[in-house]
Every structure is written in structure tokens, then in C-alpha cells.
């Protein structure tokens, strides 16, 4: 037993960051708000890795989340006083440098701190050898065992590079309970708990579809997981904080950025179709029954490259003849450009309404995005030509911003390498290094067969209303793909939803998906459907293929579409 908690049968693990730029004061709020054994922070995302990669290009000593250091300057003392371990992936592309900065900070504050760090995820130097191309960054998603190794060696603070988001929770749980690498059900339970709290306040009411039901969403508290030795957990938050923890807020985060019923990681594959959620008192939701399987034989690698240069101009079109005005601007700009960029995309957002009471309500937006390997083609050579149309085009021609130079854009793609090729190094506080190898057992990922469906709801009177009248949803990005999780609250609503919201119906409701591959996964325990939409986001978030590049609002668009819903199901 490593002594991470005074209770041998329970460990309380909190979260204070869901992304690089999250609430700055959350670390102190979590330390002062109630009992904790471990405080975690997730600072990394696909886009963040690109940002850190560009930082490292400017200064090889950078590549980590600088915000974490500023938070720690305020909170390291309180954490040590309360015996709260801190585990974070803020090390990004340079965990060794961040670990040294933490030591320097502690010395300046007159504190004694034991710092461990985990690396080995950076495969950039081996990219060609591993058939990964020539990326700017190439980082394998490591698991929890390097973190556990550092904690077992007495680390007060553990910083990592690119580990899976849930690993910062699984590592402390595994260290505290002495789990083995083949304790798949326990590990899978901790993975699910980690997935629920990894995005901070998204588990306590943030981005929640039925947000109007929540009485106190002014400043949601951050979540924590009480994990038990068998891998079950209770999701909760500190008493007196805002937001709410309900079965639905937990389900909402559980459905976020998943692909199918199998949630694969480097340590275990968690079966999301086995998850059981239940209320366990005010602001407490239990997670039980999670089954785990051996991890897949390959490890996912986050690959970021600079794809070229990008620029955009947005025209304001007001009043009558919007389509004709857009066609004129498009025809003029394309014919006036001295050289056509490699990519030139137009979108027209019809935000206007007839007989509008304000000029803004009478206006639509025409957006032109250009991309090219040559920065000159998408710089002033593009944006200045657009502005030259101001006195020569449609009536009322104007723009939302002045002309500007192009800027580099990133391209993300996932890669996969044999798990045996990736070993992470745990650097213990005393200075020695322990190599942590890959899994001893793996299992190929396969699709879970669609379970038997309940009987359809008998036909009866209906009303044409938005799907969101009865259904909740949460959507997000997975590289160039997007997911939408949709779920309902009652068995009868489930009988209707599972037979109504098919792949074909989704394509009808969301025409942007009509030509894309869409896969549906059925999760009966949650009364939920998950749709994976391949290619909707192009080459990833930084590519900005659509105006919502992370698909955050995709689920809300679906909820706003009208269907004929049985009257008996409506509230």
C-alpha cells in the first residue's frame, strides 16, 4: 500500500483542469473545498499539442503548459500541507523541463517537494522508422503505470507527457490499491471514472443539454471521483459548490468524444455498454458494473504537422437578394485573384430574416477560407483583393474584419504503432529511472454486435417538435471525426428513439453528414445511441474545416431538428 489515502478501501481523486486555459483558480478551489487525496489536471488536447509544438520550435526549453506552473506557485504549499498528491499531463512535449521548473519553484518557496515525471511518449525522432511520416509532433498515448511507479516511490507531484486523459486518475488508483496489470475490470472502472472527471465542469452541469433544469450553474464546482478497490466509483463535487452531479450530467460526459461500445486505451479496453449509473444521494452518482478487456495490440499516436497557411475574409450581406449578392462577390473575388490558392472554400450563413427590425437581423455572412503551402498566395494577395471589392461589388458591401496576413494551420491525424515499440520511463523523485514496458496481453479491437432491441413503441398520436424535447445530447471531436451521443430518460422514450434515430434518419436531420460514413452504436444501459461521423472535421481541429471545428454544437443542432414524436413521450 502506497499511502495515497488514509482509507485503504477508498481514494478521492479530483480534477482542476479540463483543458489548457480552464479556470485558473480551480486548483485552489479544489484544495480548499473539501477532502482530497489526489488532484489531477488535464491540459492536453490535439490542438494543444500543436500549440506546444510551435512553442518548442521557438524555444527548445518550452513545450509544457505554463499555466500549471503559475497555479502551482499559489497552491504547492497548501497541497503539501493537506498531503494531496498532484498528477498532471501539463508536461506536454517536455515533461522533464516542467519537472525541473517545479523543483525550482519549490526551492524558491522554501518547500521540500518530491517530483516525478513520465516520458517516453515522444516518438518524433523515430517517426520515419515507425512509418509515421515527418510530423512536427508524434506522441504516443501512454497509460497509467509510469504514474503509479512515481507515486509508489513517494512523489508529491507527477508530471507527464501525452498520456490518455483517464490515466492521471487510473495511475493513482492502481498505486493505492496495488492493482495488477491484468485487473481489467478494476482498471476499466477507473478509466470510466477518469473519463467522467477529465473535462472538469462538463461533469457538473457545464455544456449540459437540459441546463435550464439546474438551479445553480453560475460557477459549477469541479468534479471528483471516490474510487473503491473493486473499481467502482462515486462521482461527486465539494459541498457548497455550484452546478450539479446527476445521472444525466455524468452520462453527458460519459458520451463525450467516444467512438463505440469499446473504449480502448493502452492499459485496458473498457466496455461502455456495461456501465451502470445510479443516483447515490444529492450530487452523488455511482458507477458500477464496468467490464474490462485486454488492451489492443497497437498504441495510438497523436501526429501533428504544419499543413500550410490559411486566411479568411467574411462579407456582410444585408437585405434583399442575398443569394445573388453572394454569387457576385464570389465571382468577382475568384476572378480578381492573381493566383488561385490550393483550397478556396465558401460558406453562406443565412442568418437574415425577412422584414427585420434591426440591420443585424437583416444580414447574412459569406465566408471565404483559403489554404495553400505558399504563404504569399493566402496573405495580402488574397485579403487585400477581397477588400478592393468594397466599392465595386454588391450594394452594402462590408466586412467583419480588416485584411490580414495568412497564418500557419495544423493538420492532425492519428497513427498506430505496435505496443511493444512504446515503453515509457518513470523518473522517480530520487532520480533513478524505471522503464515501463507494454502490456503482456492484448486483444484485437472488434465492433460489439448490436444488442437485441426492445419492441417498438405502438403507434399513436404524435406532435412535430424538436428532438430535444425529450432527448439529451453531447458531441465532440475525435481528430477529423465527430461523435454525437444521444440519450433519453425513460424506457418508452428509449423504445421510440432506438427505432427512430437510425443512421439514415441522422443523415436526413444533419445534411452535412449525408455523404460521410456514419456508424451507430447502441448502449442500452444508458438508453443511449452514439454516432461516429467520419471526416466531418477534415484534418482535425486546427484545420478548421467548418465553423464549429470541434463539433461542440453538433449535438445541439441535432436536438433542434423537428421530428414527429408520440404525444405520450412528451413532458
Q: Where are the alpha helices (DSSP H) in 91-206?
A: 95-109, 145-152, 167-177, 184-197
Residues 6+ apart with CB under 8 A from 478: 257, 259, 532
Give pLDDT, residue 45: 83
The DSSP letter of residue 546 is S
d(CA 44, CA 294): 25
User: 456 pLDDT exceeds 80?
Assistant: yes
d(CA 532, CA 257): 9
User: 2 pLDDT exceeds 80?
Assistant: no
Work out the average pLDDT over 225-247. Answer: 98
Categorize the per-residue pLDDT at 555 as very low, low, confident or very high, splitting at 50, 70 and 90: very high
Given its phi and psi angles, is residue 157 left (phi above 0), alpha (psi -120 to 50 degrees) or beta? beta
pLDDT in tens, 99-114: 999 999 999 999 999 9
pLDDT in tens, 321-362: 999 999 999 999 999 999 999 999 999 999 999 999 999 999
CA distances from 6 to 115, 183, 228 (A): 21, 23, 13
C-alpha cell recorded at residue 211: 441546463
Q: 3-state class of 137 per DSSP?
A: strand
Work out the average pLDDT over 246-262. Answer: 95
Give pLDDT, residue 167: 98
d(CA 294, CA 403): 54
**Around Cβ 298, how many Cβ atoms within 10 Å?**
20
Dihedrals phi, psi of 547, to nearest 5 degrees:
-70, -20
User: 8 pLDDT exceeds 70?
Assistant: yes
The DSSP letter of residue 163 is B
- The two beta strands, 343-349 and 363-372, are antiparallel
Give pLDDT, residue 119: 96
CA distances from 539 to 43, 122, 304, 412 (A): 21, 21, 10, 6
**Around Cβ 281, how many Cβ atoms within 10 Å?**
10
Work out the average pLDDT over 305-309. Answer: 90
Give pLDDT, residue 49: 82
Residues 6+ apart with CB under 8 A from 394: 317, 321, 324, 325, 328, 329
User: 474 pLDDT exceeds 50?
Assistant: yes
pLDDT in tens, 139-171: 999 999 999 999 999 999 999 999 999 999 999
Work out the average pLDDT over 238-253. Answer: 97
Picking from 150, 405, 164, the residue whose alpha carbon sits closest to that of residue 266 is 164
Give pLDDT, residue 546: 80
User: 239 pLDDT exceeds 80?
Assistant: yes
Whole-prediction pTM value? Answer: 0.93
d(CA 391, CA 413): 43
Work out the average pLDDT over 494-519. Answer: 97
User: 282 pLDDT exceeds 60?
Assistant: yes
d(CA 74, CA 57): 29
pLDDT in tens, 32-91: 999 999 999 999 987 788 788 888 888 888 999 999 999 999 999 999 999 999 999 999
Give pLDDT, residue 47: 76
Work out the average pLDDT over 172-183. Answer: 97
> Where are the domains positioned within the chain?
10-302+414-436, 304-410, 462-569
**Around Cβ 13, how many Cβ atoms within 10 Å?**
30
Give pLDDT, residue 72: 97
Work out the average pLDDT over 394-411. Answer: 92
Long-range Cβ contacts of 324-332 (<8 Å, 24+ apart): 324/394, 325/366, 325/393, 325/394, 325/395, 326/364, 326/366, 328/393, 328/394, 329/366, 329/389, 329/393, 329/394, 329/397, 330/366, 330/368, 332/389, 332/392, 332/393
d(CA 351, CA 402): 21
CA distances from 328 to 159, 233, 343, 344, 353 (A): 55, 60, 20, 16, 21
CATH pick for 304-410 out of 3.10.590, 3.30.70, 1.10.10, 1.10.3470: 3.30.70
Give pLDDT, residue 1: 40
Cβ distance 378 to 341 under 8 Å? yes
Cβ distance 26 to 16 under 8 Å? yes
| Burial (0-12, 13-18, 19+ Cβ within 10 Å), 91 | buried
Mean confidence (pLDDT) of the chain? 95
Q: When comparing pLDDT for 353 and 409, which is higher?
A: 353
| Cα 123-129-133 angle, rounded to 5 deg | 75
Amino acid at each position: 500500500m502506497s499511502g495515497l489515502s488514509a482509507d485503504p478501501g477508498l481514494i478521492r481523486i479530483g480534477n482542476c483542469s479540463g483543458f489548457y486555459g480552464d479556470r485558473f483558480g480551480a486548483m485552489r478551489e479544489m484544495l480548499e473545498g473539501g477532502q482530497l487525496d489526489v488532484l489531477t489536471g488535464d491540459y492536453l488536447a490535439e490542438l494543444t499539442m500543436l500549440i506546444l509544438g510551435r512553442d518548442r520550435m521557438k524555444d527548445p526549453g518550452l513545450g509544457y503548459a505554463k499555466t500549471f506552473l503559475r497555479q502551482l506557485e499559489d497552491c504547492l504549499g497548501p497541497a503539501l500541507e493537506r498531503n494531496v498528491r498532484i498528477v498532471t499531463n501539463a508536461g506536454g512535449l517536455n515533461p522533464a523541463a516542467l519537472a525541473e521548473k517545479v523543483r525550482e519553484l519549490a526551492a524558491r518557496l522554501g518547500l521540500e517537494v518530491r517530483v516525478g515525471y513520465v516520458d517516453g511518449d515522444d516518438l518524433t525522432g523515430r517517426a520515419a522508422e515507425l512509418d509515421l511520416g515527418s510530423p512536427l509532433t508524434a506522441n504516443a498515448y501512454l497509460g497509467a503505470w509510469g504514474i503509479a511507479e512515481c507515486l509508489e516511490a513517494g512523489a508529491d507531484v507527477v508530471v507527464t507527457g501525452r498520456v490518455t486523459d483517464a490515466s492521471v486518475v487510473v495511475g493513482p488508483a492502481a498505486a493505492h490499491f496495488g492493482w495488477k496489470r491484468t485487473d481489467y475490470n478494476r482498471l476499466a472502472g477507473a478509466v470510466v471514472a477518469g473519463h467522467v472527471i477529465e473535462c472538469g465542469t462538463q461533469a457538473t452541469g457545464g455544456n449540459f443539454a437540459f441546463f435550464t433544469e439546474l438551479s445553480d450553474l453560475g460557477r459549477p464546482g469541479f468534479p471528483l471521483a471516490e474510487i473503491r478497490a473493486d473499481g467502482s466509483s462515486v462521482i461527486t463535487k465539494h459541498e457548497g459548490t455550484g452546478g450539479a452531479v446527476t445521472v444525466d450530467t455524468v452520462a453527458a460526459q460519459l458520451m463525450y468524444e467516444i467512438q463505440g461500445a469499446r473504449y480502448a486505451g493502452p492499459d485496458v479496453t473498457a466496455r461502455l455498454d456495461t456501465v451502470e449509473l445510479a443516483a447515490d444521494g444529492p450530487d452523488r452518482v455511482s458507477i458500477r458494473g464496468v467490464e474490462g478487456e485486454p488492451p489492443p495490440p497497437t498504441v495510438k499516436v497523436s501526429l501533428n504537422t504544419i499543413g500550410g497557411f490559411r486566411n479568411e475574409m467574411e462579407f456582410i450581406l444585408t437585405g434583399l437578394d442575398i443569394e445573388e449578392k453572394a454569387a457576385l462577390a464570389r465571382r468577382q473575388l475568384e476572378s480578381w485573384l492573381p493566383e488561385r490558392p490550393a483550397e478556396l472554400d465558401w460558406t453562406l450563413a443565412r442568418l437574415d430574416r425577412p422584414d427585420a427590425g434591426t440591420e443585424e437581423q437583416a444580414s447574412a455572412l459569406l465566408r471565404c477560407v483559403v489554404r495553400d503551402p505558399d504563404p504569399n498566395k493566402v496573405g495580402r494577395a488574397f485579403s487585400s483583393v477581397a477588400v478592393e471589392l468594397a466599392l465595386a461589388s454588391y450594394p452594402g458591401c462590408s466586412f467583419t474584419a480588416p485584411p490580414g496576413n495568412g497564418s500557419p494551420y495544423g493538420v492532425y491525424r492519428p497513427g498506430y504503432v505496435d505496443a511493444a515499440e512504446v515503453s515509457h520511463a518513470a523518473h522517480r523523485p530520487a532520480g533513478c529511472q524505471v522503464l515501463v514496458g507494454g502490456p503482456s496481453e492484448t486483444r484485437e479491437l472488434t465492433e460489439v454486435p448490436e444488442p437485441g432491441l426492445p419492441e417498438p413503441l405502438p403507434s399513436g398520436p404524435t406532435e412535430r417538435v424538436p428532438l430535444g424535447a425529450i432527448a439529451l445530447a453531447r458531441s465532440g471531436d475525435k481528430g477529423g471525426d465527430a461523435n454525437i451521443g444521444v440519450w433519453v430518460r425513460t424506457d418508452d422514450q428509449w423504445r421510440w428513439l432506438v427505432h427512430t434515430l437510425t443512421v439514415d434518419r441522422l443523415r436526413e436531420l444533419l445534411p452535412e453528414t449525408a455523404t460521410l460514413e456514419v456508424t451507430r452504436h447502441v448502449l442500452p444501459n444508458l438508453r443511449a445511441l452514439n454516432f461516429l461521423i467520419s471526416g466531418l472535421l477534415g484534418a482535425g481541429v486546427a484545420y478548421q474545416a467548418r465553423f464549429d471545428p470541434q463539433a461542440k454544437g453538433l449535438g445541439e443542432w441535432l436536438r433542434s431538428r423537428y421530428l414527429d414524436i408520440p404525444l405520450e413521450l412528451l413532458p
